[in-house]
A and B are shown apart, each in its own frame.
Chain A
Amino acid sequence: MNDGDILSVEHLTMRFGGIVAVNDLSFGAERRQITALIGPNGAGKTTVFNCITGFYKPTSGAMKLTHDDGRGIQLERLNDFRISKQARVARTFQNIRLFPGMTALENLMVAQHNALMRASGLTFLGLIGAPSWRRAETRAIDLARTWLERIGLLGRADDAAGNLPYGDQRRLEIARAMCTEPALLCLDEPAAGLNARESAALSELLLAIRTDHGTSILLIEHDMSVVMEISDRVVVMDYGVKIAEGTPREVRDDPKVIAAYLGADEEEAIAVMESGT
């Protein structure tokens, strides 16, 4: 953890009744870097995400987001939509949550809601079709078009999101999150259910997002090939606590991680970890 971190989570604890899902977790996500949060199923990764993005109110602990201009925001004090609106933290979901009955383009337009709401003068300017609103709408469509092009879905812009193949839906959800112009992008298992080729394309997309937009990325992922390839830092969780942190190489060689990841069977664990290289 250092001052350059865009997100610093300190002593985060989340209890559900008697169950401690996250226990005194501290870690940081560096600016313009990709930080991966890994761990076996049930380790509490998604709970951490839900705390960061305001879907859960943490039992205790602090989460501080520092913008490029040095402005710091305590995430635990904001609730749901304000985290995206004010702190500019965007997220995707483990089970894709697109708007299935809306087109790919509409999905990306909804993501620009807050900017467009201002441009439409809280609807009133838009209702009378003011020129300033028209310009803003054209810009919004252009931004959406740019993203559709980047994820290779320009040809399917007018198709319902629910009709797109699974891999395309995953990418569209990331594009939708990016249309909110976030400072921190949180991805919950973006490679889940993707084949090898799609995973590779995803890695490329995420690296491009980091490089071209300077967006910091925090991701939960089980696909070790993706994690090892793109992450700058890896945080490993098990049973709600952090068991290791470091570069992908350091983490991969950590005996605690290997033990936690696939139980006591070290040889199997090593095989999985090796597959990532």
Chain B
Amino acid sequence: MSVNPAASEKASRIPGVAFIFKKALISALVALVLFSLMIGVRTEAGPSGQLIYWTRFDDLAAMVATVFGGSIVVELLRQWWGPVGTVRVVPPPVQDALAVAGRWVAPVLLIFTFLVPVIFYNERYILDLGILVLTYVMLGWGLNVVVGLAGLLDLGYVAFYAVGAYSYALLATNFGLSFWVCLPLAGILAAFWGVLLGFPVLRLRGDYLAIVTLAFGEIIRLVIINWQSLTGGPNGVTGIPRPTMFGIPLSPGEDGLAARLGIEFSPTHRIVFLFYLILALALLTNWVTIRLRRLPIGRAWEALREDEVACRALGINTTTTKLTAFATGAMFGGFAGAFFATRQGFISPESFTFQESALVLAIVVLGGMGSQLGVALAALAMIGGFELFRGLDQYRMLVFGVAMVLLMIWRPRGLVGHRAPTVFLERNQAISSDLVKEGHG
């Protein structure tokens, strides 16, 4: 019987027991150093401010032993698994099944979303969660224009969300303008701020761009906190009018929608209305983005992400192309902000921290940059996941973090990593993610 050369080669490459043992020992040592202070010694301030500490060496020993054992298990698993690669991690039949499922996911998800208020009419919690998820879907789709299509890393997206929210809140409370007048205004103002941010960062790329956009997000937040006479500072803006159904308020009064339709008033009406409102706004974002991708401007965004130098050689004005990307993304952020303000009825700078920017960016990256479906799925997973793990209390973030790391190992380019072409002659075939650039500025 002949020996399979590939198998013998593989066998020769398997590291020995000594190697595994050494690796586990190093891991244990690192764990010992790390945890000796974090777990080994517990410190607390005493009643009169003095230092109280006690040692927990048994916990420390257990932790180090776990790391040692875990390291061996991981190393054995890795040998059994072989080198990690996308082809290896996801076997072809599963990939085919996923492709088939992929075609049905979007329509099914859309129909289900339309039916959510019908199915869960009496479950306020689910409706609220649905509104929250849809808000992030919309934000994700908006940021997707900037990050996913144009490849400009924007860490300050929440600034436009804030501009939209404060635009509506201030215009409505000070001038009594209705939601439907303020909505486009909020979008326009946010787009204007998007262009303002765009100008100074035009020359920046990659990390530098990220830092400046991050700073921009903070500047907007700090201005809102400190410009007390206009924004109310940390106290926020209260009494923001609720949205009306084109002038008909959703209130229990005589001129309310319920009274006019002759049905009994229920506070759920407003929730359902808000649900469909944000759904409509999100779908508008999606529709416009899909449309724009097939127009020269959308193709120029993607070309910019792929190769900026080549774009300039083809006569594409990279300045206006970048600015329109910022403005379009910001406009959708502004719409979402106006919705957020009318839904909450109260806004304060606390809602517009960097964490929000990071969350939306995580949704875009996790979803697969540039993919509309991926972003929607990622928003559902992230926001829904947060709620799903609520029962785990303090371990929620831990479980969530592990889930994200695993997802990134499994699909390093996001849930939907491939790119769909915007135009085709015969075959509309997806482009593999390893060819598509992430953009760098």
- A-side residues, CB < 8 A to B, are 53-55, 80-85, 90-91, 93, 97-103, 105-106, 109-114, 116-117, 120, 123, 126-127, 141, 145, 154, 157-160, 162-163, 176-177, 180
Closest chain B CB from A79 CB (angstroms)? 9
Residue in contact with A158 in the complex, picked from B303, B316, B425, CB distance below 8 Å = B425
In the docked arrangement, what's the CA distance between A84 and B312, Å? Answer: 8
Nearest CB of chain B from residue A194's CB, rounded to whole Å: 20
- CB of B92 within 8 A of chain A? no
Question: Inside 8 A of B435's CB, which chain A residues have their CB?
Answer: 100-101, 160, 162-163
Residues of A within 8 A of B309 (CB): 55, 93, 97
What are 6 A-B interface contacts by the 8 Å CB criterion? A93-B309, A101-B302, A101-B437, A102-B306, A114-B316, A163-B435
Q: Which of B295, B302, B310, B432 contacts A93 (CB 8 A)?
A: B310
Q: Beta-carbon contacts of B258-277 to A below 8 Å, as 1s and 0s? A: 00000000000000000000
Contact call B314/A123, Cβ cutoff below 8 A: no
Interface, chain B (partner A; CB < 8 A):
288, 291-292, 295-297, 299-300, 302-303, 306-307, 309-318, 324, 419, 421-429, 431-432, 435-437
Most chain-B Cβ atoms within 10 A of its Cβ — which of A84, A99, A109?
A99
CB of A151, distance to nearest CB on chain B (Å): 14
Give the number of residue pairs across the A-B interface with Cβ within 8 Å.
136
User: Which chain B residues border A176 with CB–CB below 8 Å?
Assistant: 314
A263 to chain B minimum Cβ distance, whole angstroms, is 33
Q: Name which of B292, B425, B426 has the most chain A CB atoms within 10 A of its CB.
A: B425
Q: How far is the CB of A132 from chain B (nearest CB, A)?
A: 13
The 10 tightest CB contacts between A and B, nearest first, are A84-B315, A101-B436, A85-B315, A99-B306, A116-B296, A162-B435, A97-B310, A126-B295, A80-B312, A160-B431
- CA A100 to CA B421, docked complex, whole Å: 12
B424 touches A123 (CB 8 A): no
Closest to B433 in A: A101
Q: Which residues of B contact A158 (CB under 8 A)?
A: 421, 424-429
A103 pairs with B315, CB closer than 8 A: no
Contact between chains at A102 and B288 (CB < 8 Å)? no
Nearest-neighbor residue (CB-CB) of A125 within chain B: B295
- How far does the Cβ of A210 sit from chain B's closest Cβ, in whole Å? 20
Instruction: List A contacts of B310 (CB < 8 A).
Output: 93, 97-99
Contacts of B306 in A (CB 8 A): 99-102
Complex formed: what's the CA distance from A158 to B303 in Å? 16
Enumerate chain A residues within 8 angstroms of B432, measured Cβ to Cβ. 160, 163
Complex CA distance for A80 and B320, rounded to whole angstroms: 13
Closest CB in chain A relative to B310 CB, distance in Å: 4
Closest CB-CB distance, A39 to chain B, in whole Å? 22
- Checking B316, B317, B427, B437 against A110 with a beta-carbon cut-off of 8 angstroms, the contacting residue is B316
Beyond the given A55-B313, A114-B315, please list 15 additional residue pairs across the A-B interface where CB-CB is below 8 A.
Answer: A55-B309, A81-B311, A81-B316, A84-B312, A101-B306, A109-B422, A113-B296, A113-B303, A113-B316, A114-B316, A116-B295, A120-B296, A126-B296, A127-B295, A160-B432
Q: A102-B306, A126-B296 given as contacts; is B421 within 8 A of A84 (CB)?
A: no
- Name the B residues within 8 Å of A123 (CB-CB): 292, 295-297, 324
Decide: A106 and B426 in contact? CB cutoff 8 A: no
Q: Is the CB of B423 within 8 A of A109?
A: yes
In the bound complex, what is the Cα–Cα distance between A101 and B421 (angstroms)? 9
Q: How far is the CB of A171 from chain B (nearest CB, A)?
A: 16
| Complex interface: chain B residues within 8 A of A127 (CB) | 288, 291-292, 295
Given contacts A101-B437, A102-B306, contact A180 B425 (CB under 8 A): no
Residues of B within 8 A of A85 (CB): 315, 317
A24–B297 Cα distance when bound, in Å, is 40
Give bound CA distance, A99 to B292, whole Å. 18
- CB of B314 within 8 A of CB of A90, answer yes
Q: Which residues of B sit under 8 angstroms from A100, Cβ to Cβ? A: 306, 435-437
Q: State the Cβ distance, B151 to closest chain A Cβ, in Å.
A: 10
A122 nearest in chain B by CB position: B297
**A99, B302: Cβ atoms closer than 8 Å:** yes
Contact of B315 among A101, A113, A120 (CB under 8 A): A113
Contact between B315 and A180 (Cβ–Cβ < 8 Å)? yes
Chain B residues with CB under 8 Å of A154's CB are 425
Given A109-B299, A110-B303, is A81 in contact with B312 using a C-beta cutoff of 8 Å? yes
| Residue among B295, B309, B436 with max Cβ neighbours from chain A (10 Å) | B295
Tell me how far the C-beta of B424 lies from the nearest C-beta in chain A, rounded to whole angstroms.
Answer: 5
Q: In the bound complex, how far is the Cα of B421 from the Cα of A113, in angstroms?
A: 16
Once A101-B437, A103-B431, A113-B300 are accepted as A-B contacts, the answer to whether A53 and B313 lie under 8 Å apart by CB is: yes
| Cβ–Cβ contact A93 & B316, under 8 A | no
Give the nearest-CB partner of B419 in chain A: A101
Chain A residue, CB-CB nearest to B313? A91
Which residue on chain A has the smallest CB distance to residue B299? A110
Cα separation A130 to B240 with both chains bound (whole Å): 39
Bound-complex Cα distance A202 to B296 (A): 29
Q: Which residues of B contact A126 (CB under 8 A)?
A: 291, 295-296
